[in-house]
Amino acid sequence: MVPIGNYLFLSLALFIIGVIGVLTRRNVIVILMSIELILNAVNINLVAFSRHWANVDGQIFTLFIITDAAAEAAVGLGIIIAFFKNRETVLADEMDLLKW
Amino acid sequence: MPTWAQFMDALWQGLPLIKPELQLTLWGIGILLTDFFLEERHKYWNAIVALIGVAFSAVELWVLRLEMVKQRAPYFSGFNDSVRVDPFFIYFGFIFLAATALVILISVRYLEIEHEHRGEYYALMLFATVGMMFMASGYDLITLFISLETMALSFYILVGFLRKERRSNEGALKYLLLGAFSSGILAYGFSVLYGLSGSTNLSDIANALALRPLNDMLVVLALVTVSAGLFFKIAAVPFHMWAPDVYEGAPTSITAYVSVASKAASFAMLMRLFLVPFWPVRANWEMLFAAVALATMTVGNFAALTQTNIKRLLAYSSIAHVGYMLLGMVAMNETGMKGIAFYLFAYAFMTIGAFAVVILLRRKGLIGDELEDMNGLIHRHPGAAILMLIFLLSLAGIPPTAGFMGKWLIFWALIETKHYYLAIFGALYILPAVYYYLRIVVHMWMTDVTDPELPTISPAQWVALAAAVILVLGAGLYPEPFIKLATYSVILPLAR
């Protein structure tokens, strides 16, 4: 059996990659993908802990997070399309109408 | 393993506890269905149906409260302790329902002017309210996370509801990206909490954390990620950058809703999480909260000084208000919790009132959210100008208004717990606040009319404005019953 530390390390690495992606990428769609990476890091964590504690709550939580990620992607792409129709761009640094 | 029959029994026993939310869900679905049959000029029926739904939900909530008093129960728990109906939930539930009702009232005419009068708007508002109610009553990480997302997803769509308006698109996109990012961070913290305890129940997590040493790395990791996620949601510094953009871009009625209801719900969730699971490690987060509260008040108050857009100015002022409420968390005593509950109540009505006045200025061809649009309002519409003055005085924290009582309770809590420096800082920051609120007043009272057209007020807007001003002045002049209500809501950290 693989020790739980390995899973946690993998998930932490995924989480950090996701955070760096959100903070550094320009393309809105890539930012959404990075957010999915963060949620998948959470899922790995939950399933590993679920195995570790031998109870099923974590796996149920995972199912809910997958559902939530799907809903978020649907709403997110809808908003991106509405934005693209008006502005013809998906680059985050060209969202510049609103600023102080 | 429970059998099917046991499972169904548990379900039937739990159902009465979520009746307020069930009502809202069903009425929301009803709006989606009947919206098809309504012609463009009859769309206001959607708003009426939504108000009826809110009223039914409030009745169910009141019934739950009566039942709780009758049985002398400290709380009801259902669905395997994933939902807890306690005074805390009932207090916040009424704040959410009242805020929703007021925002529905101020929305109708605004949406007609924007030509975006659709049923989905009201349905999404009700669904968002469902999410908020579960955020206050959830007692399980899964329930809390899903309810937070229910609320957040509804808000992403509502902020972008003016599809043809570029600012609305942009606000929605920024809100979505940063909101989803913060939810991800929060979920990571939840997964660590689950890993620490092997349970998603908040009490179990609290017991597991109590056995851990204080500087345990995993506890600190969970604490940092969960608080970062929640600070995003309540727009505390350093996670506040989305707020001004979203507030400016969103339809003004939704700006009011996001700034009031979403903030109150996120605060309810923050209090629930930090007063139950994180209570055993409170020594770890006291300094964190004090630092964040100070930074939030500083940035909010000073950034608001230079704003020329009223919605942005109110966004920064709402950031500053979050700082004051966080000070209540730092005090960590009963007065502090009472202060937060009362402050949120006052904040809700004065903010909705202020945004309602901004909405009055909206008409064809004029967005009405710049400071210049307020010029000479006292000559164009004295009633609106006086109402705005009352709301602004309350926001600044000047007696005899509800905003003053809220600040007073928070400062009192800080003095009781010997946090004198924080109290002094909080009191000093009222000065810049008075300055930038008075800028609006100067535009309303002391400048010449630049725009001769008179704003008109629909009956629904009058009702909303009257309700808000009565509550703001009532809770300021005669605060005892309201403070008693707030006291009734805070038994949290003591009764686990």
CB-CB under 8 Å, A22 with B160: no
A49 touches chain B (CB under 8 A): yes
B131 touches chain A (CB under 8 A): no
Which pair of structure tokens corresponds to residue A20? Answer: 């760096």
On the 0-12 / 13-18 / 19+ scale of CB atoms within 10 A, B6 is exposed
Chain B residues whose CB is inside 8 A of the A51 CB are: none
Is the peptide bond between B74 and the residue preceding it cis, with omega within 30 degrees of 0? no
B192 touches chain A (CB under 8 A): yes
Chain B residues whose CB is inside 8 A of the A11 CB are: 191
List the single residue in A with minimal CA-CA distance to B152: A72
Chain B residues whose CB is inside 8 A of the A95 CB are: 170, 173-174
d(CA B122, CA B102): 12
Handedness of CA B99, B101, B372, B165 (dihedral sign): positive
List the single residue in A with minimal CA-CA distance to B305: A100
Domains present along chain A, CATH in parentheses: 27-92 (1.10.287.3510)
pLDDT in tens, A2-44: 888 899 999 999 999 999 999 998 889 999 999 999 999 999 9
One DSSP character per residue, B443-493 reads: HHHTS--S--PPP---HHHHHHHHHHHHHHHHHHHS-HHHHHHHHHH--TT
pLDDT in tens, chain B (496 residues): 668 888 888 888 888 899 999 999 999 999 999 998 888 888 889 999 999 999 999 999 999 999 998 998 888 888 888 899 989 999 999 999 999 999 999 999 888 888 888 889 999 999 999 999 999 999 999 999 999 999 999 999 999 999 888 889 989 999 999 999 999 999 999 999 999 999 999 999 999 998 988 788 899 999 999 999 999 999 998 899 899 999 999 999 999 999 999 999 999 999 999 988 898 888 888 899 999 999 999 999 999 998 889 999 999 999 999 999 999 999 888 888 899 999 999 999 999 999 999 998 887 767 778 888 888 888 888 888 999 999 999 999 988 899 999 999 999 999 999 989 999 989 999 999 999 999 999 988 888 887 777 777 888 999 999 999 999 999 989 988 888 888 888 765 544 4
- The predicted complex's ipTM stands at 0.95
| Confidence (pTM) | 0.94
User: How many helices (H) and strands (E) in chain B?
Assistant: 22, 2
Nearest residue, CB atoms, A79 vs list B160, B183, B303: B160
Alpha helices by DSSP H, listed for B305-381, are 310-331, 334-360, 377-380
pLDDT for A93 beyond 50? yes
B164 touches chain A (CB under 8 A): yes
**CB contact set of B268 (below 8 Å; sequence gap of 6+):** B88, B92, B132, B135, B136
A64 touches chain B (CB under 8 A): yes
Residue ranges of domains in chain B: 7-495
* Type of residue numbered B315: A
Q: Supply the Cα-derived Rg of chain A in whole angstroms.
A: 17
Is the peptide bond between B382 and the residue preceding it cis, with omega within 30 degrees of 0? no
The whole-number pLDDT of residue A98 equals 63
Which pair of structure tokens corresponds to residue B397? Answer: 């924290």
B174 touches chain A (CB under 8 A): yes
